[in-house]
Amino acid sequence: MKIEFYKHSVSQKDIDNAVGVLNSLFLTTGEVVSEFEYKFSRYLDCKYTVGVTSCTAALHLSLLAYGIGPGDEVITTPMTFIATANAIIHAGATPVFVDVEPDTANIDANLIENAITSRTKAILPVHLYGQMCDMKKIREIANKYHLVVIEDSAHAIEASRDGIRPGELGDAACFSYYATKNITSGEGGAVSTNNEEIAEKLKKLRLHGMSKGAAERYSKQYEHWDMEILGWKCNMYNIQAALLLNQLENIEKYWQRREQICEMYEEAFEEDSVVTCLKVLPNSKSARHLFTILVPPKRRDSIMGQFQESGIGVAVNFRAIHLLTFYRQTFGYERGMYPIAEKIGDSTITLPLYPKLSNEEVQYVIKVVKEVTTS
Ligand SMILES: Cc1ncc(COP(=O)(O)O)c(C=O)c1O
């Protein structure tokens, strides 16, 4: 059996929507983007969403919108995709890592205060694999030290914890519509916020700092635009938004199927003596973006190779980023500094998880995992 690591859920309706845009006059940022932004905000129960071309851009621009730059420190987790920490560096600031919780792999909110210095300006928690961090505690710390909170919600569109959703307690939440995400336009991203001034600033930052977007410039009598601030070029365009609209309508249906699959995996590995699963906390709805297992670190790479030989697509999300060459060389990080993130990074294997995965395929994955890990 061959089981792909990921298969997207782009439907004929999504394709028809994109073709509709391609047959129209306006391909770039226009009404379809506005419609998606409005509907995404409504889904999250957040006031504003600004569509961009990636979550990396969403993180970068959010930091800039809140005035974070050279000389500033931003607290984040080493157990994430490099985009999180890279965006801090792109903004000119310095990432400061805090270790993670062993059960969830999310940033350990109890360790954050120890990492705060006079230069700390923001906390950038990552809702890893789909489960939200302890946002109540993080907000409390941020209020105490007057820090901005920007949530990396690339994995967590559908998540909630203690009844709180992404973007609710954070000053901004950043999302990804990358090729393997829960809804996808191949590449894409957004920032959601309840702060109107920041939303307006983000609209400028995504388009060179221009005072008017293309739709405003060309849909009416021509009006001159001004450049008020220095911006970037990462505006979401209509073709991307068209692909996402109908996926957003179906987002809970897709989530339910992933939830079922995760429950099958969790039940199968509950009593396992070699394989461990991370925990979804009782008061938490995980967006179920990635399903990762932990195996003994010394055996991880060979186990992964055997999964692949059995036809199962796998990935590693993630090796602790402070150990990657650039981070070691630039910031002097060494093994031993964030031991829990390192252990998870050395032990983790991500299994296939997507709505199109059949029960038979899930059972095959479980069978192979058990056979390989007990051999
Ligand atoms: C946790 C996390 N943050 C940010 C990103 C960056 O997203 P994008 O590829 O849309 O820039 C990713 C991408 O996979 C991610 O996993």
276-277/284-285 β-pairing: unpaired
CA-nearest residue for atom 9, ligand 1, is: 178
pLDDT tens-place string over residues 317-372: 999 999 999 999 999 999 999 999 999 999 999 999 999 999 999 999 999 999 99
Q: What is the pLDDT at residue 215?
A: 78
Average model confidence (pLDDT) for the chain? Answer: 97
262 and 312 in contact (C-beta within 8 Å)?
no
Helix H or strand E encompassing 267: helix 251-269
DSSP string, 307-363: HHHTTB--B-----GGGSHHHHHHH---TTSSHHHHHHHHHEEEEP--TT--HHHHH
pLDDT tens-place string over residues 169-202: 999 999 999 999 999 999 999 999 999 999 999 9
Residue 213: pLDDT above 90?
no
Q: What is the pLDDT at residue 20?
A: 97
Q: Ligand 1 centre from 325 Cα, in Å?
A: 20
DSSP 8-state class, residue 148: E
Residue 217: pLDDT above 90?
no
Q: Which amino acid is present at 264?
A: M
- Assess whether 203 carries a catalytic annotation: no
CA 184 to mean position of chain CA atoms: 12
Query: Which position among 7, 39, 47, 181 bears the catalytic label?
Result: 181
- pTM exceeds 0.95, yes or no: yes
81-to-46, 239, 321, 324 alpha-carbon distances in Å? 25, 26, 8, 11
Q: Ligand 1 centre from 55 Cα, in Å?
A: 5
CB of 83 sitting under 6 A from ligand 1: yes
Which residues, other chains included, contact 48 with Cβ-Cβ below 8 Å and sequence gap of 6+?
Answer: 37, 41, 192, 193, 194, 195, 196, 198, 199
Q: How crowded is the C-beta side of 188, counted as CA atoms within 13 Å?
A: 25
Q: Ligand 1 centre from 56 Cα, in Å?
A: 6
pLDDT tens-place string over residues 249-296: 999 999 999 999 999 999 999 999 999 999 999 999 999 999 999 999
- Best residue among 54, 59, 63, 81 to mutate for probing ligand 1's pocket (most ligand atoms within 8 Å of CB) is 81
What confidence category does residue 24 fall into, taking pLDDT thresholds of 50, 70 and 90?
A: very high
Q: What is the pLDDT at residue 319?
A: 98
